[in-house]
Structure 1
Amino acid sequence: MKEISLKKLKVVNTLIECGSAAKAAKVLGISPSAISYTLKQLTAHLGVSPFIRKNNGLKPNEHALALQEKYHEIGALNTTRKKFIISTYSLIEFYLADYINSMIDGTLLHFITMDTSENERLRKLQHREVDIDIGGRLPKDVSIVSKRYLYSKMCIMASDNHPTINETFTLDDWQKNKHLRWQRDSGSISSMVNNMNFHTPLFREREISWESPNLLTLAYLCSSSDNIIMIPEVFVESLKGMFPLKSFRSPEALDMKFECYIHYHRALESKVNSLDLHNIFDPKPR
């Protein structure tokens, strides 16, 4: 593998990320015939083709993945990093910043706004414009590691001083109170919650008084008003520590589970694993 040039390794890496010769050629600024010629040379060198041709493009085999790993090593992607670009939600960002900052010195944590488009999130991971993405599950991609990060029941939160909600929370409470809604677009949050359907009467007929992608803002509004909010239970203790809030188990008709995933390029796997990010929350199924 030592004799294979960096240029050829780059072609393999781009083919894996793009999935087709035409797309890879466009990214590299070369012709599809140049891609084909490079693959012929690699096949001759390895004694076997590094890709399997499928109807929807080229699928890498273990030889292609080994070449990609070599490309990443040469490109120094596995050297000490001075910056991590992270895309996630506000509350997870809050805890990531606190947790990672206490572990690593001289490393810049650069948080950016998460795209609502799954394809754009995936593209940024593929091209390493984003190092770590924590959110709704993305489509499978051979160059991207995807692992379940958080799994939690959904629950209801209200102000400690709520005038009508006391020991338990009922469907009557759900229907009579105004709601705060954690939402980035029409489907980005609901897609992470099993059984959540905004078209059912329980959700469609709610009176929404405020909507935001920022869960910290919504928690503050909840604590200082009579509005209620449905959030993942995994965040409850953190929010109670910041605001005067109380939580309730959801009624059976609102029994739902939240899950989100951590995504990163496979070239960064050892670096991301060394951060041990699962210690921030306890994501074990309940």
Structure 2
Amino acid sequence: MTRPDLNQLITLDVLLAEGSVARAAKRLRLSPSAMSRALARLRDTLGDPLLVRAGRGLVPTPRALELRERTARLVEDAQGLLRPADVLNLKGLSRSFTLRTSDGFVETFGPELIRRVAESAPGVRLRFVQKPDRDSGPLRDGSVDMETGVVGAVIGPEIRAQALFRDHFVAVVRRDHPISDMTAAAYSAGRHVGVARRGPDKGPIDDALAPLGIERDLAVLAGGYSAVLALVSSSDLIATVPQRHTEGLRHGMTTFSLPFAVAGVTVSLLWHPRLDADPAHRWLRDCVRAVCGHRAHGLPDDPEGS
């Protein structure tokens, strides 16, 4: 079956609206002869003369009258579809966004993000869900609008990433802990609580300790930073956690710099490319970026796609 030439819709719309080959030609910036040929092609396509001579002018056939409104609506809809998106009306925006984050992010950045969003777009609802893994599936299938995390090899190659902030690890103990100075000896002698991993228990901290001949005693493993720090707050355990990411979880605890060098991490905002140009999604990305203080923490000014 031959595919229809959709460009003929515009020609048909103008011809039926003008009822004149000459006026239609002028409106479409064609010569009268080119417009006559276009009308001939439409007659052949539709099997109807469309416009017939009546005295010195042309009048529409019943088929043309039947098509006139439908054609105008189709052309109007197509033009609206191909126009750039309207300016975003935040006050009138009614939409829900799902953000997938590791625990600690909501406690640290959530209150300010909620305040900022409510102030600009009171009809927007935020839904925070836990991030148990780095699988990009929820971003691909649309069940999650965006998520935060450290970009790794398991992230889908098409996923967009925007750096939010640089973080570094610190040691955390309860306020009245016997350790008053976190030396390498005190750190290695202590009992530690860490985050349970899906793979091996070893992580960047253990990798940094290995060349020093130090192996920490991971006495307890818990499901996330909230559980890790809850255990620390009521025991003599030591936790090693990212400083900025867990700021909202460490109230009332004592934080020490680590007595050895550990590489920091960059926490990024992740989303699927189909949402790149969505005005509301772009606005929310800007809100998250502003709340996380991207520029204030030494990252390059790369608003899209770090």
TM over 0.5: yes
Alpha-carbon displacement from aligned partner over 1:135-183 (angstroms, at most 9, x marks no partner) = 13153534x32112231221111111011x11x3111111111111024
Contact kept? 1:162, 1:226, Cα under 8 Å: yes
* 2:167 paired with 1:152: yes
Q: Could you state the TM-score of these two structures normalised by the residue count of structure 2?
A: 0.56
CA distance 1:200–1:218, shift in 2 (3 Å): same
Which residue number corresponds to residue 146 of structure 2? 132
Alpha-carbon displacement from aligned partner over 1:239-264 (angstroms, at most 9, x marks no partner) = 34x3x211111113x43312222101
Alpha-carbon displacement from aligned partner over 1:21-46 (angstroms, at most 9, x marks no partner) = xxxxxxxxxxxxxxxxxxxxxxxxxx
Q: Distance in 2 between matches of 1:184 and 1:272?
A: 31
**3-state SS of the aligned residue for 1:137?**
coil
Question: Which moved further from structure 2: 196-205 or 180-189?
Answer: 196-205
Identity, in percent, stands at 17
Shift of 1:204: 8.1
- RMSD of equivalent CA atoms: 3.7
Shift of 1:203: 9.4
Which residue number corresponds to residue 89 of structure 2? none
2:123 to 96, 101, 106: 106
The one-letter code of the counterpart of 1:130 is V
Shift of 1:187: 6.1
Structure 2, unpaired ranges of 5+? 1-5, 8-80, 86-91, 300-306
**3-state SS of the aligned residue for 1:271?**
helix
Contact kept? 1:95, 1:280, Cα under 8 Å: no
CA distance 1:235–1:141, shift in 2 (3 Å): closer
Q: Distance in 2 between matches of 1:201 and 1:183?
A: 23
2:177 to 137, 145, 162: 162
Q: Which has the larger Rg? A: 2
Shift of 1:234: 1.5
Which residue number corresponds to residue 268 of structure 1? 275
Which residue number corresponds to residue 248 of structure 1? 256
CA distance 1:204–1:122, shift in 2 (3 Å): farther
Pairing 1:56-135 to 2, within 5 Å after superposition: 80=93, 82-102=95-115, 103-104=117-118, 105-116=122-133, 118=134, 121-135=135-149
Residue correspondences, number: 205
Q: Could you state the TM-score of these two structures normalised by the residue count of structure 1?
A: 0.59
CA distance 1:263–1:218, shift in 2 (3 Å): same
Q: Distance in 2 between matches of 1:202 and 1:182?
A: 22
Q: Distance in 2 between matches of 1:115 and 1:81?
A: 29
Shift of 1:96: 4.6
Alpha-carbon displacement from aligned partner over 1:168-210 (angstroms, at most 9, x marks no partner) = 31111111111110244226994xx5x7528938798322232
1:213 to 223, 228, 241: 223
CA distance 1:274–1:111, shift in 2 (3 Å): same
CA distance 1:218–1:258, shift in 2 (3 Å): same
